[in-house]
Structure 1
């Protein structure tokens, strides 16, 4: 179906994500230093390690997950990333989170360490923040980039 992906070093993936820190939050954007949202950060990492984005991105409003029905974010992840058990998440994996119980997942970030997440946060921008229990409870899906090598601490 798709060619075998090139190997991706997770440490390099995390280092690239950290170069986005300080990028301002901009809804629907994906430009390091200029602006991005949480999906834009993941899209930027995809471009850096996998090449051109695999599908066009439709316009989406702030309430896209609530009005669209289903788990659209997770479905897209399943098309292009490798889904893994949330209990096996490792640095370099993409986390999809729910804002509240029962809601679709609509926030994403990259697990940078066992206890930190790089993500674009509205009104804040791209930050590396502690993965506190309140965030951990919100993890709905975990994905690895295709070709991501196993984590080597």
Structure 2
């Protein structure tokens, strides 16, 4: 499958997760997922990644962990780039956090799709999260 087709399949798959509630460490469409496992499972569901087992992590990992474990896991499969295109992963660090701890898939130039604590998997306007962006990452196969 060509890169553009893979990106389109990823976005199509991600959209099928809309309204899935936020559940820390969850990765079940319709039942519950967190931001990282939503992204990981979307890649897995379309065959871009094998099943990757993620060890338990505390829900307050961003506030109490000095090691950027979340970002380090993304870097195992992705490379940082300067400009995002749909299908890329955007990483965030919110106020009060020691390390980056949230990520979304760029859905379009204007929207991201992500699992948010308050809304579950949703489409959000990228502008509302822009000030928290700390990196844009592209799946290594697409580099």
TM-score bracket for this pair, using the shorter chain length? 0.7 to 0.9
2:80 alignment counterpart: 83
Q: Secondary structure at the match of 2:123?
A: strand
For structure 1, the residue ranges without an aligned partner over 5 or more in a row are 1-5
1:122 alignment counterpart: 117
TM-score (norm 2): 0.87
Q: 1:144 aligns with which of 132, 138, 142?
A: 138
Alpha-carbon shift at residue 104 of structure 1 (Å) = 1.2
Contact kept, 8 Å, 1:46 with 1:53, in 2: the verdict is no
Alpha-carbon shift at residue 73 of structure 1 (Å) = 1.6
Deviations 1:21-64 (A, max 9, x none): 0111111101111110101111112212323234x312112211
TM-score (norm 1): 0.82
1:50 alignment counterpart: 48
CA RMSD, Structure 1 to Structure 2 (Å):
1.9
Contact kept, 8 Å, 2:63 with 2:96, in 1: the verdict is no
2-side partners of 1:7 and 1:82: how far apart?
A: 19
Alpha-carbon shift at residue 100 of structure 1 (Å) = 1.6
1:94 alignment counterpart: 89
1-side partners of 2:100 and 2:29: how far apart?
A: 24
1:32 matched to 2:32: no
Deviations 1:53-79 (A, max 9, x none): 34x312112211232213222211111
Moved over 4 A (4+): none
For structure 2, the residue ranges without an aligned partner over 5 or more in a row are none
Alpha-carbon shift at residue 146 of structure 1 (Å) = 2.9
2-side partners of 1:10 and 1:46: how far apart?
A: 10
Q: 2:129 aligns with which of 131, 135, 139?
A: 135
Bigger relative contact order (CA 8 A; separation at least 6) = 1
1:3 alignment counterpart: none
